[in-house]
Structure formats: C-alpha cells, structure tokens
Chain A
Amino acid sequence: MREGRRHQQFAKFKFAELNLVPLVDTLVSIVFFALTTATVGELAPVTPGVTLPEARVGSNALQQLTLGVGRQVTLAGNPVMSTLDAAQAESSDPRQPLLIPALYSALRLKADSIRTASAEPGIGPVEAPLAIQGDRSMRYDLLSRIMQTARLAGFKNISLQVRRVTDGV
C-alpha cells in the first residue's frame, strides 16, 4: 500500500518517452549531404545544343556564369545572338577589332550587376569567373573574339568547360 502511494507520486513526474533514433538518422544524412555539397560545390550543367570537346584532365567544373556557343551564343542560358552573327559582327571600336558589340553589351550588363551585388568598387575587372562552353567545331577566330570581348567587358577569369572523359570510356 505504501509502495503503491509512492508509485502514484512518482508517476506524476514521469517524462514522456522520446525516440531520438530517427532524429539522429536524419541529422547524419543532413550533415553528410551538407559536407558533400560544401566540398564539391554546385556542378555545372551542359549548355543545351552544344557538343563539347572532351578531355581527361582539368579541375571539376563548377556552376559559374556560363557563355554557351552552339548555334546560338547564350549567356546564363539566355540567347544573345546567333553564332553566325557573332562571327561576322564588325567591331564598333577601331582600337579593338575583335570586339563583338552585342555580346559586349550583354556581358557588360552582367559584369555591372555582379559588381552591384558584390559591392565591388569602380569599373575594374570582376573577380567572378566566366565559363565558356563552346562547340567542338568552333574555330579559334571566333573563340578569340569571344574571349577578348569578355575581357573588355570586365571578366578577367575565364575558363573553358569541356566534357570529362575517363581512360576507360
């Protein structure tokens, strides 16, 4: 009887049981994927309509502002002009014969928005990299014009993204 009273008294303070196992499992998954994402970074997608050259070496291509050169020249997925027009475009600046005016305007706009977003001062080159995904059949005269236009628009860090192949493939 005395035992029964004690039991009733302590029953009032009994905690509800919490199963922490699913919480721990979920947290393990979250930590794993968070670490993986932080280490690897967001990977770059391939621009549609572009047949990329292949290479076995190079660093992992991460998501960057991408200039695609297929049938059309695209910037961040938005068409800027046709590749034919880009190749035949005449420079508006006699001191810069390689300049492609329409592409320059689009790139300049992007560079300005990057400067505004990152509060970079002045009109100097932006630190944000520009990735070029060009079709394997593109000639160098066009690539050199695109690179020079990008540089004049303020992009000093340019990378060429190509398809990775392994020795077994």
Chain B
Amino acid sequence: MPGSRFHRARVRRAERAASSLGHGGINLVPLIDVLTSIVFFSLVSYQGLLAELTSFDLALPPVVVTAQQVAAAQPEHQLALLLAVRVQADRMLVEHSGGGGYRREIVGLGVAQLDTLQALMRDIHRQYPQNNDVLVLPADDVSYDDIVHVLERLKMAQFPNVALGTRARVGVPGALTAAGGA
C-alpha cells in the first residue's frame, strides 16, 4: 500500500542507503579536500614556514668606549669577565677566568678550527654549567661572516647568552673602510 506508514519508512530507508553522505548525514568529502590542500601546501612551504632567516639575539655587553671612561669607571661597573672569545683575522683566543685563569689559542678560522672551538667551549660549559654567558671580542678587520660562524659554534656549544663586545677606543675612528655589498 503506497500511503502506509510501513511504505514510507521503507522509502526513507532506501533513500538513506542510496545517499552518498557519510554517517550522520554529513558530507565529509569537501572537508577531506580542504585538509588535503592544507597538508599539501604546508609540506611544500615547510622550509619557508620555518623561516628563510635565522636570528642571533645578542646580549649587549657593557662597552667602555673611551680611555677616560675606563679610568673613571667605578669598580662595580667594570666588566667581570668570565669567558671571552677573541677573534682575530687569523686566529681565535679563548680566555676563561675560572680555575685560576685559562687561555687557549686556536690558529685559523676554518671549519676544523671552528670544530675545535666548539668542542672546547662545550667542555668549558660542561665544567661550569652555571656559566651561560660568553663575550665575543672580534678585531676590527674580522669579517662579519667569520663572526657569524663563531656565534653559530657558541650556540651549538649550548651557550644561550652571547654578547658582542668591542675594544676600548681612544680617538674618533677616521680610517675605517667600508664594507658590505662591495
């Protein structure tokens, strides 16, 4: 009988069975499409997402810039240096005030020398885990590229606070040469 309740229920069941909708009547296909797009573009742009650039946050050192200020500085304002890496054009010098003073020279700025620096700094950090600060003191003629490599190795040696210092200067710099993009 076409109008009976039983017939209508049977028709509804048949419609439900024939429907392409998922459980609960929600069509999940567009959602899956959108999620697939998101995953695809996330994977494609993964390198870009994690930044093309990386950043070294510097702790600024208490720089004293003139000889007069060096002489006038109060003892409490003087730099209580614990660990420093001096970078010169052809060598690095690690100075540490712990254990009665420590000084080690590493000749060269190549990959092998940077490996040595990293191992040395890691050893120092292992010996003095409370010391998280290191001061890098490059010479004027050291290139920025070399400085970044030193900073990179110090970060890899687990020193979170790296400061860039500069030596005390007496006069106005006159004969500085330009750099960058040259």
Contacts and interface: CB of A to CB of B under 8 A. Distances in A.
A87 B178 contact: yes
A139 B172 contact: no
B174 interface: yes
A115 B176 CA distance: 33
A21 B26 contact: yes
- Chain A interface, DSSP helix/strand/loop, else mixed: mixed
B156 A57 contact: yes
Contacts, number: 213
Chain B CB count within 10 A is highest, among A52, A129, A133, for A52
B83 to A, nearest CB: 19
B142 A139 contact: yes
Interface string A78-108: 0000111011101100111110000000000
Interface string A11-37: 000000000011011001100100010
Contacts of A52: 53
Interface stretch (B102-110, B127-135, B143-151): B143-151
Contact of B147 (A140, A145, A161): A140
Interface in B125-182: 138-145, 147-149, 151-152, 155-156, 164, 166, 169-174, 176-182
Nearest to B56: A160
Given A21-B27, A25-B34, A138-B143, A59 B57 contact: yes
A123 to B, nearest CB: 18
B54 A84 contact: no
B152 A56 contact: yes
Interface string A119-157: 000000000010101111111111111011001000011
B11 interface: no
B112 to A, nearest CB: 17
A97 B172 contact: yes
Interface stretch (B12-20, B60-68, B74-82, B93-101): B60-68
B181 A71 contact: yes
Interface residues of A, number: 71
B143 A43 contact: no
A83 B54 CA distance: 23
Given A57-B155, A98-B169, A139 B177 contact: yes
Nearest to B38: A32
Given A55-B54, A83-B181, A144 B148 contact: no
A49 interface: yes
A162 to B, nearest CB: 5
Contacts of B182: 71, 83, 135, 137
A28 B35 CA distance: 8
Interface of A: 3, 21-22, 24-25, 28-29, 32, 36, 40, 43-44, 46, 49-62, 69-72, 82-84, 86-88, 90-91, 94-98, 129, 131, 133-145, 147-148, 151, 156-164
Interface of B: 3, 26-27, 30-31, 33-35, 38, 48-58, 60, 63, 65-66, 68-69, 138-145, 147-149, 151-152, 155-156, 164, 166, 169-174, 176-182
7 contacts: A55-B54, A55-B56, A61-B54, A90-B174, A97-B65, A98-B169, A98-B173
